[in-house]
Amino acid sequence: MAKELAIVLNNGTINSAVVTALAQQKYRPVLAYGEVEPVEPTPRHRGAYDLQVGHFKPFREHTIPVPYFALTHETAFAMGDPRANEPVEPTLRRLTPLLGAAVSLATAYDAAAIYLGLRVGPATDELARAVEFLQIWNEMVQMTLGKPELEILAPLIELEPWQVVDLGFQVNAPLERTWSCVEESGDPCGTCRGCRSRDAAFMQAAKPDPGKPARRA
C-alpha cells in the first residue's frame, strides 16, 4: 500500500534535513522551498535544498515565490539551522504566508500532514507562543477549512540545537547536504554566527560534522 503524502517546508538547513527524514519515516514527502527572488549564482541554501531533493527523492517538489520578504529584509523559511535563537515573533511572521501556501499544496495533494523545521527550544515563553501559533493553525485548517485529518507538525520545536544534530544521526538525515553559513561564498566562512553555532551544536552532540572534509557542506 502506498504511503500517504506530507508537505515538508525545506530551506536547505539542518532542521530541514532532519524534519524531512522524520516525515519520510511515515509519509512520502512533497518538498517545498520558499524563494525570496531569483538570484544568480544560485544561493547556497537553495543549492543545499536541491541536494536534499536528490537525496530524499520526493513525490514532487515546489518553489514558493515570496518576493516581498526581500523588500523587508526578511529571509524565507526562517525555521532554521542550529543557530542562536532569534525572537520568535519575526519567525512566526515569516512562517505565516508559507504555511498558507503549504495548506494549499496539502489540499491539492490531499496530504495527511505538513511538516516544518521550526525550533524554539525548551521551557520558554516563546515556546508557548509558538505552540499556540501552531494550535491556532491546526484548528483553523481542521475545523474552519474542513480538513479534519490534516495535521501541521513541528517535531523539533522543543529541542536544543545539539539535540537536533543528535536526532539527525539517529534518523540518517543527510546533514552533509545542509548549509548554515550566513555568507553566500563557495565555502562556509567558519567565523559567522551560523558557522560558529553549527560547530557548537555538533561539538555538544559529540558528533562529527559529516561535511567537515569539505569544510561543512
pLDDT of residue 13: 93
pLDDT of residue 99: 93
Q: C-alpha distances in angstroms, 187 versus 84, 132, 135, 154?
A: 21, 38, 39, 30
Mean pLDDT of 151-163: 96
pLDDT per position as a tens digit, 17-53: 999 999 999 999 999 998 866 555 558 889 999 999 9
pLDDT per position as a tens digit, 100-125: 999 999 999 999 999 999 999 887 88
Paired sense of beta strands 5-9 and 113-115, if any: parallel
pLDDT greater at residue 173 or residue 42: 173
Mean pLDDT of 142-170: 93
CATH number at residue 15: 3.40.50.620
Question: 183: Cβ–Cβ under 8 A, 6 or more apart, which residues?
Answer: 189, 192
Which residues span the domain enclosing 148?
5-214
pLDDT of residue 163: 97
Do residues 19 and 44 make contact, with C-beta atoms less than 8 angstroms apart? Answer: no
pLDDT of residue 50: 95
Mean pLDDT of 78-90: 59
User: Could you give the dihedral angle defined by the CA atoms of residues 69, 71, 73 and 79, in that order, rounded to the nearest 10 degrees?
Assistant: 0
d(C-alpha 34, C-alpha 49), whole Å: 10
3-state secondary structure of 12: coil
Asked if the model's pLDDT at residue 217 lies above 90, the reply is: no
Task: Report the side by side order of strands in the sheet with 5-9.
Answer: 60-65, 28-35, 5-9, 113-115, 151-153
pLDDT of residue 144: 81
Do residues 115 and 153 make contact, with C-beta atoms less than 8 angstroms apart? Answer: yes
61-75, 77-91, 94-108: which has the highest mean pLDDT? Answer: 94-108
Asked if the model's pLDDT at residue 177 lies above 90, the reply is: yes
d(C-alpha 46, C-alpha 35), whole Å: 8
Record the pTM: 0.88
Asked if the model's pLDDT at residue 77 lies above 50, the reply is: no
Q: What is the mean pLDDT of the chain?
A: 86
Number of domains in the chain: 1
Asked if the model's pLDDT at residue 71 lies above 60, the reply is: no
SS3 of 36-87: CCCCCCCCHHHHHHHHHHHHHCCCEEEEEECCHHHHCCCCCCCCCCCCCCCC
Residue 215: pLDDT band by 50, 70, 90 thresholds? very low
Asked if the model's pLDDT at residue 134 lies above 80, the reply is: yes
